[in-house]
Amino acid sequence: MRRLRKTKIIATLGPASSDPDSIEALHLAGADVFRLNFSHGDHKDHEERVAAIRKLEGDVGRPIGILADLQGPKIRIGTFKNGSTMLTNGAKFRLDLDETPGDEKRVSLPHPAVLESLDEGSILLLDDGKLKLMVVNVGKDFVDCEVAVGGKISDRKGVNIPNALVRMSPLTDKDRRDLDFALSLGVDWVALSFVQRPEDIAEVKKIVAGRAAVMAKIEKPAAVEALEGIIDLSDAIMVARGDLGVEMPIQEVPSIQKRIITQAREAGKPVVVATQMLESMIASPVPTRAEVTDVANAIYDGTDAVMLSAESAAGEFPLEAVTMMSDIAEVTERDPLYRSVIDAKHGHLEATTADAISAAASQVAHTIGAAAIVTYTTSGSTALRAARERGETSVLVLTPSLKTARMLALVWGLHCVHTSDAENFADMVNKACRKSFAEGFTRPGDRVVIMAGVPFGTPGSTNILRIAWVGEQ
């Protein structure tokens, strides 16, 4: 099953889309990767979803990626005597560790590490930014605040802290249990929420130990400031615009999104744009014009994938949402302006043989009008370099590793096939021609450009570029 677009689609599974028939319909409509949101559902729910995806994968004969999205630390206030209270502008309000129900003067913030991270002048945003507090005094186990923007506040509302580096791990005890379980299920990607520093990624990668690829969700100002280091350590990046739009001025989110995409592409790391992309389709069979433009703009910027959250997980029209996103991508990529924009944002090559071969393959394929670039890969590094080129020629990835094929399902422009590795040079050429024909990329008489490494099966050894004719199959 060959997609008519190069941008990939991630669909979140949930109550509206978890039975095997729904998962199959979403995949056929365009979902390349399925997201398991560990903020919702229990382990049994996720296990059943993984089983359905893997069965579907066998039925359709295509590798399907699975992304486990960890919840991360949820900072919340405690409870109030009457369930809620009103905070007025200019009033004093204390946050402390006392779990006694609060009132209009104080409430519990049962996170010692958070209180220790606050200084005079720190800002706290409550209930998705509806209320704003400014710290005016810091005590041993409390902070006194002034209400900058008041309103009604009720039990256990969330707290965002935009201008402070919170000295706590992004992995909670729940996350550690969820991570162990997700890895036992064989997920392909793990997304880490509320990343603040490169060290957060290092902590997770040490636990994952190569069993899955790690994606950093950029949703805090501290992560934006440390973006280069986070990209270096991550396997992929997600522009998580929900909390990012709460913790930073919302009008800055578009430029930050473009910056993240640009830096990720420059580094050759896959990048995903997420949150509220087709939000209105939770309750409507058609999106707004602004949402369609939002999705298209991310595609013009060269994002590897766009993601549906509640639209496919809990909405009334999950199938329509995936279909619409796929249609937007196809139409956008057919626009002549798309190719000129993508080419204008080409990243700098590293001084390596593999990068040189990848760049040459794209140029040669364009010059001779090749029907496809065929790349052999074991670890995925060669395929990632091919995708980084954002070339106009289709890329067929042949890999002996099903794990690698599933991981690469998220990456721009890659059509992955799980197959045995080439035995020798002649087998490399013959298999490339056979598979490109079987997958619908070529016809007899077409030419293909082949990238591979000798000795075969050695990760990171890309050192061959070959042009071959496709004969009668």
Which residues are designated catalytic?
35, 76, 217, 275
Q: How far apart are CA 433 and CA 446, in angstroms?
A: 9
Residues near 317 by beta carbon (within 8 Å), at least 6 away in sequence: 281, 282, 284, 285, 311
Q: How many CB atoms lie within 10 A of CB 420?
A: 10
Single-letter amino acid, residue 429 = V
Single-letter amino acid, residue 396 = L
Q: Report the length, in residues, of the chain.
A: 473
Residues near 182 by beta carbon (within 8 Å), at least 6 away in sequence: 36, 38, 46, 68, 70, 190, 212
Residue 7's beta-bridge partner residues?
A: none
Q: How far apart are CA 377 and CA 397, in angstroms?
A: 7
Q: How far apart are CA 33 and CA 181, in angstroms?
A: 19
Assess whether the previous peptide bond of 455 is cis (omega < 30° from 0): yes
Alpha helices in 88-170 (DSSP H): 112-117
Q: Is 473 exposed, middle or buried (0-12, 13-18, 19+ CB in 10 A)?
A: exposed
Residue 215's beta-bridge partner residues?
A: 191, 236
Q: What is the longest distance spanned by two Cα atoms in the chain? A: 81
Is residue 389 within 8 Å of 363, Cβ to Cβ?
no
